[in-house]
Structure 1
Amino acid sequence: MSSKAASFVEAIASRRTIYSLKPVLPEKVELKEVQQIVQDIIKHTPTCFNSQGNRALALSGESHKRVWDHVYQTLPLEKFKAKPLAARDDAVGTVVFLVKDSKTKELQERFPIRADIFPELIAHSSGSAQLSTWTALELLGFGANLQHFNDLILQALPKDVIEDDWSVQGQLVFGLPAAAAGEKAFDENEVPLLV
């Protein structure tokens, strides 16, 4: 395997879910760098029919805390409140991944015979952006975990920043790792080579 490919696979393989975070930046990293990485990844992530419906917001400081406090306060069951509380208090920021629903509808109208598949394809593209961002932030020294409080996050986002036709796909909570991740366990999943 070439050294570039090996480095890429190593970065993907070392990506981990880190729940134990500190609300600080890694040394020599600024939030502007996080914003630029997210912007570049959203721009360059492939989308079906080049629809370019991926969007993102980078939250930190009071914006980050306000959004997660809303999730914490709104959840009806106490047993589900630990993750938003940790996101609010232990992380330095959140990347909110969104999609532009009008792009999905446009594809459905252009290709009605395949209309049912486009929401899934859009979700695949958003997932690609999420994984790429997660891996890139870990290369900067962050720990991160992916959350899906989508409807509650959308309610808390500033209405002057998001458009009416955006929907939330996931939230990547990030900060300085406070503890290492546990061991990974793998199912057997050998990829056959068919020639």
Structure 2
Amino acid sequence: MSAAHYLKAIASRRTVYALKPELPSGVTLEEVQAIVQAIIKDTPTSFNSQVNRAIILTGAEHKRVWDQVVKSIPSDSGKKRPASVRDEAFGSVIFFTDDKTTEQLQAKFPAWASAFPQFADHSSGAAQINTWTALKQVGIGGHLQHFNGYVKAALPKSIPLEWQVHAQLAFGMPAVDSLPEKTYIDNPVKVFS
């Protein structure tokens, strides 16, 4: 793969809110799971801590979690986006970091203790964007959400308590054929040597 191919994949990723609760023709849930698994495995982490975790919600469990999120939000205006995730997305990837792993690193390397939570945040962000971009390559649209506390309270009880929710990638078949062109600010990268 050339750098141009990789950069094109990054540039083609877009926020797609209009979703259908289905996968593109020929794409299976097992393929989605394999993509997410590979990204969780291969996304770099500080000190090779492998702090990233993820689960995929689909079907009745996806609807149950997002319905609980909707019911937990006090304002009607705040319910709109999680209701659309519940009703329009095929599923969601929930991204976590393992706080137990971070705490072990803090104990082992006290000089870096205050930095490890931020390192975990960085790695989680990389996993989120890598997943979003990879799913786009198989025709899946998505949008990233941060209903972290609401989602954590609604998740299955088998999820370890020390897993901290970082984001939710709602995904499904794009309901529109094309998206508006993205505009860019003038933001040159300068080289100093």
Distance 1:193 1:10 in 2: 23
From 23, 26, 29, the equivalent of 1:25 is 23
Distance 2:172 2:31 in 1: 14
- The alignment of Structure 1 onto Structure 2 pairs a total of residues equal to 192
Tell me how far 1:5 sits from its aligned partner: 0.8
Question: TM-score when scaled to structure 1?
Answer: 0.95
Distance 1:147 1:176 in 2: 17
Tell me how far 1:110 sits from its aligned partner: 1.8
Report the counterpart of residue 93 of structure 2 in structure 1: 95
Amino acid at match of 2:83: L
Counterpart mapping for 1:1-195 below 5 A: 4-160=2-158, 162-179=159-176, 180-195=178-193
Q: Which runs of 5+ in 1 are unaligned?
A: none
Amino acid at match of 2:175: A
**Secondary structure in 2 aligned to 1:42?**
helix
Deviation sequence 1:79-121 (CA, Å, 0-9, x none): 1111000000001010000110011111111222222111111
Distance 2:161 2:83 in 1: 27
Distance 1:181 1:78 in 2: 28
Tell me how far 1:193 sits from its aligned partner: 1.6
Amino acid at match of 1:11: A
Identity rate, percent: 51
Question: TM-score when scaled to structure 2?
Answer: 0.96
Tell me how far 1:183 sits from its aligned partner: 2.9
Distance 1:167 1:156 in 2: 13
Q: Which runs of 5+ in 2 are unaligned?
A: none
Tell me how far 1:72 sits from its aligned partner: 0.5
Distance 2:182 2:20 in 1: 22
Amino acid at match of 1:169: H
Distance 1:194 1:6 in 2: 24
Distance 2:133 2:182 in 1: 16
Distance 1:50 1:165 in 2: 19
Amino acid at match of 2:95: F
Deviation sequence 1:12-50 (CA, Å, 0-9, x none): 011000001111110101101101110111001000000
Q: Which moved more, 1:11-20 or 1:105-114?
A: 105-114
Distance 1:194 1:106 in 2: 38
